[in-house]
A and B are shown apart, each in its own frame.
Chain A
């Protein structure tokens, strides 16, 4: 069974900490994505990557960065965590759109910044 694995289901961090959220996929997908999900706001795209060492900003990149050193791993970094970054974070991967695929999502990481 194909998988997208997020390293933590629940995480509590302090304001100002540097936070790493890890995502690994075993499907050899080129495309990987990070979303955050908040009540009433739906899913919002933070960053995405179409290839190793490639990254593009999504709709809400401020306060975040990403790293993709290997094809299977896409990390989201909160440079200095703030309370407004408390959210559910979802990682996804996919084949290119021309191959007709949707996204495969991980189980999510619920991050609380205190």
Chain B
């Protein structure tokens, strides 16, 4: 079975500071990994995805994430936070095979607050 753990349900940073949102996964087969963002009362929007190409993945809005197989991690970073980054972020894993074929499993989410 696959699972995702996001460390920290709430993260607070100052505007201009580094954003680091942590995600660890478990998967019995090579995974596809995703980060989504959700603004209040909206659906989820794809930020970036890892699909076994480059381990450093760049996404929208200046975010990037690095796949580290040895650490089973896929942490999301942004060098300089902006007020508009305040939202809830979800890490997700999807297997291309195995018993969880095709299903996307989400972490519990991390709410990012950005202070002026």
Contact of A98 among B36, B43, B96 (CB under 8 A): B96
How many chain B residues touch A (CB < 8 A): the figure is 24
Q: A68 at the A/B interface (Cβ < 8 Å)?
A: no
- Complex alpha-carbon distance, A50 and B102, angstroms: 9
Chain A nearest CB, measured from B112 CB (Å): 16
Binary flags per residue of B38-72, CB closer than 8 Å to A gives 1, else 0: 00011111100101000000000000000000000
A108 to B106, CA, bound (A): 16
- Could you say which interface size class chain A belongs to? 20 to 34
Contact A97 B106 (CB under 8 A): no
With A42-B109, A97-B102 as contacts: A102 and B43 at CB distance below 8 Å: no
Smallest CB gap from A10: residue in B: B41
Question: What is the bound-complex CA distance between A45 and B43, given in angstroms?
Answer: 15
Q: Please give the residue numbers on chain A whose beta carbons come within 8 Å of chain B beta carbons, in ascending order.
A: 4, 9, 31, 33, 40-43, 45, 48, 50, 58, 90, 92, 94, 96-98, 100, 102-108, 110
Chain B residues packing against A (C-beta within 8 Å): 32, 34, 36, 41-46, 49, 51, 90, 92, 94-96, 101-104, 106-109
